[in-house]
Amino acid sequence: MDLVRHLECFVAVAEESHFGRAAARLGMAQPPLSQRIRRLERELGVRLFERTSRQVTITEAGSLLLAEARELLARSESFLATARRVRDGETGLLRAALSPDLSGETVAALLADFGRRHRGLELELHELPTAQQLARLAAHELDVGVVNHPCDVSGLELGPVLRRELGVLLPRGAAAAGLDEVPLATLSGYDLILFPRTAAPALYDDLLTTCARGGYTPAAVRHGQGASFVRGLVLSAGAVALCPRDAQPLPAGDGDPDVVWRPLTGAPLAWRHSAAWPEGRGDAAVQAFAEAATHALRTTAGAVPDAPTRPLHLRPASEYWL
C-alpha cells in the first residue's frame, strides 16, 4: 500500500467533508478515492468516516489520527525535498580523491570552483595514488577521483582525458641543462626518480617503456614523491626526475641555482588524467567535481585534451628494478 498517497486521501476527505470535493482537489475520480479510504480503514483496523448519502463525518478515531497523518505528510515532503537536494548536489557528503602529483595551484583552483558550485555540500578530500583510488572506487568507499592513465577503468565512467607533457628535472651543471629541449637519449648515465610502482603500475611501466624506446634505460630507478626529497636526489645522487613544469619541486626552475627543468624533445612522455567515478553513480555533485577538476587542470597545469593513445606494449617491471 502506498501509505503516503492513502494519507493524502484521508486528509483531503477530512478537510473537505465531501468525497467529490476531495477527489477534485486530488485530481482523481471519486470511486478510486473511496476505495483508497476503505483500504486504509482495513489496514488500520479503524473506521475513519461515517458516511451517509448526504454527508461525510470524521469519526473520533479519525480525528485522533488526523494530526499524525498531517505530520507524516509534512515529514514525507521534507524527506523528498532533502532527497532532491542530495540528487542535485546541494547537500550531503562527497568523498573525492586527487593524485599526489597535482600542484597546490591546481588543488586550490579545483576547490574554489567546486565550492562556488556547491556551497552546501561537504567535501571529504583525500590525496591518493591511482591504485588506491581504483580500489576505493570499486569498494564504493570513494565517490569520485582524479586518476592517472593508463589504468584499469572497467566499471568506471570517465571525464575528459587531459594530457600534461613531462619534462626532466636535472642538475643545473649537467650538460643537458644547457639545451632548450632534452632528447631522452642524452639522459643515459643518470638514475631515474619515479613514484613507487604500486601507486600506478601501468603508468610506471609505460613511462619506462617509452624511455627505453627513446634511448634512455636508467641504470637504476629510485622512488620518491615528496618535492624536497626528489630535489635532494637530483642534487646529490646523479639522478633525474620526470615531471610536468607545474609539478616540479620548489624552488626548482630557472630561479633555482642548482636545479633546472627542461622539456623533452618531441614531447614523448606525458601524464594523462581524468576524473573517474563508478558507473551509474555520476550525480550532480560528482559531475560538478569532474568539471571543476577538468577546468583546474586546463587553467593551472596547462593540460590539454589527449589524443587517442597507442596500445601499450609493456616490458616486465623486473627489468627496471634493482
Q: What is the pLDDT of residues 102-139, one digit of tens each?
A: 999 999 999 999 988 777 788 999 999 999 999 999 99
Torsion-angle region of 294 (φ positive above 0: left; ψ -120 to 50: alpha; else: beta): alpha
For residues 164-171, give the mean pLDDT.
94
Q: Of 165-174, 225-234, 242-251, which range is least confident?
A: 242-251
For residue 81, the model assigns a pLDDT of 67
Distance from C-alpha of 159 to C-alpha of 276, rounded to nearest angstrom:
6
Reported pTM: 0.68
For residue 54, the model assigns a pLDDT of 76
Q: Of 31-40, 78-87, 211-220, 229-238, which range is least confident?
A: 78-87
Q: Is 311 exposed, middle or buried (0-12, 13-18, 19+ CB in 10 A)?
A: exposed
71 alpha-carbon distance from chain centroid: 38
In total, the chain counts a number of residues equal to: 322
- Whether 40 has a pLDDT exceeding 80, the answer reads yes
Concatenating the DSSP letter of every residue in 238-274 gives: SEEEEE-GGGSPTT-STT-SSEEEEEBTT---EEEEE
Distance from C-alpha of 104 to C-alpha of 246, rounded to nearest angstrom:
9
**pLDDT, tens digit, 9 for 90 and up, residues 51-73:** 887 789 999 999 999 999 999 98
For residues 203-210, give the mean pLDDT.
95
pLDDT class for 248, splitting at 50, 70, 90?
low
Distance from C-alpha of 319 to C-alpha of 261, rounded to nearest angstrom:
27
pLDDT class for 282, splitting at 50, 70, 90?
confident
Q: Which residues pair with 156 in a beta bridge?
A: 278
Distance from C-alpha of 180 to C-alpha of 88, rounded to nearest angstrom:
49
pLDDT class for 313, splitting at 50, 70, 90?
very low
For residue 88, the model assigns a pLDDT of 64
pLDDT class for 246, splitting at 50, 70, 90?
confident
For residue 116, the model assigns a pLDDT of 86
pLDDT class for 311, splitting at 50, 70, 90?
very low
Instruction: Please give the radius of gyration of the chain, using alpha carbons only, rounded to the nearest integer.
Output: 31
Residue 21: what residue type? R
pLDDT class for 91, splitting at 50, 70, 90?
low
Q: Which residues pair with 15 in a beta bridge?
A: none
